[in-house]
């Protein structure tokens, strides 16, 4: 009987040790998983300096995220994000609803690249600035729900900082441009669709002198 109790104790102790190791390495596991997911979804290599998922508080923080363009765009840098910080409503999440209380994004650098075939990386990825509120917003929300099983309820506060925009022409480097946008802590409230970010897009356009809109056209 003592032999059985001794081994049960050892198994319990081992289980506790394994749980502790898992908790300590959880952020590392999630960081690697996120890098792979970005690669799978976009075909771009990603590096994440730090990934933190709060176990006792509904917080996700990503630091030093760097994404590189695929070989068709020279493997050049694409995004440099010093910080992405999200605070979400856990009670809503239990109801399969995604309600974000705070989203803070620090965009250090965005590189718009035109390859030798004349294609631009933003348009190749299907990225475009929001223009008007149409049924496409509903389609995006429906696609999000189908992919994640969550209904997007919106973000109460979105805080955005934008550093530098670059345009790189791989065929003709003389067209290369660089502009420091210098937006610090621009706050947008009650964001529910991409249309709600149109004002931010216009501000970035004006701060960049409007030159990147023309250069990025396919």
By the 8 A CB rule, do 109 and 81 touch?
Answer: no
91-132 pLDDT, tens per residue? 998 898 889 999 999 999 999 899 888 888 877 665 544 445
The overall average pLDDT reported for the chain is: 79
By the 8 A CB rule, do 61 and 55 touch?
Answer: no
Lowest mean pLDDT among 21-30, 65-74, 97-106, 115-124: 21-30
Copy the structure tokens of residue 25: 């390495």
Rounded CA-CA distance 165/109 in Å is 6
Question: Of 57, 38, 58, 59, which is closest to residue 48 (Cα–Cα)?
Answer: 38
pLDDT > 60? residue 202 = yes
pLDDT > 90? residue 213 = no
Q: Which residues of 154-187 are buried (b: 16+ CB within 10 A; e: fewer)?
A: ebeebbbbbbbbbbbbbeeeeeeeeeebeeeeee
By the 8 A CB rule, do 74 and 44 touch?
Answer: no
pLDDT of residue 210: 66
pLDDT > 80? residue 46 = yes
Question: Of 184, 162, 170, which is closest to residue 109 (Cα–Cα)?
Answer: 162
Q: What are residue 216's phi and psi, to 5 degrees?
A: -80, -10
pLDDT > 70? residue 136 = no
Extents of the domains making up the chain: 2-215
Rounded CA-CA distance 201/212 in Å is 12
pLDDT of residue 142: 78
pLDDT > 90? residue 203 = no
Rounded CA-CA distance 211/206 in Å is 9
Strands 97-114 and 77-88: antiparallel
Mean pLDDT of 168-191: 91
């Amino acid at each position: 009987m003592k032999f059985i109790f001794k081994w049960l104790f050892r198994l319990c102790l081992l289980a506790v040790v394994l749980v502790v190791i898992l908790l300590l390495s959880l952020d590392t596991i999630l960081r690697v998983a996120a890098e792979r997911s970005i690669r799978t979804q976009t075909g771009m290599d990603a590096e994440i300096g730090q990934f933190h998922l709060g176990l006792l508080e509904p917080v996700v923080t990503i630091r030093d995220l760097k994404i590189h363009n695929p070989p068709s765009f020279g493997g050049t840098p694409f995004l440099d994000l010093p910080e992405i910080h999200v605070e979400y409503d856990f009670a809503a999440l239990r109801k399969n609803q995604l309600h974000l209380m705070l989203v803070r994004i620090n965009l250090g650098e965005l590189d718009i690249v035109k390859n030798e075939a004349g294609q631009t990386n933003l348009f190749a990825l299907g990225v475009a600035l929001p223009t008007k509120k149409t049924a496409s917003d509903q389609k995006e929300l429906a696609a999000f729900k189908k992919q994640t099983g969550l209904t997007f309820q919106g973000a109460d506060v979105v805080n955005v900082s934008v550093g530098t925009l670059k345009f790189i022409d791989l065929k003709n480097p003389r067209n290369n441009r660089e502009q420091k946008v210098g937006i610090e802590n621009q706050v947008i409230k009650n964001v529910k669709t991409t249309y709600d970010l149109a004002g931010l897009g216009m501000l970035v356009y004006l701060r960049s002198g409007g030159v990147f809109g023309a250069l990025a056209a396919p």
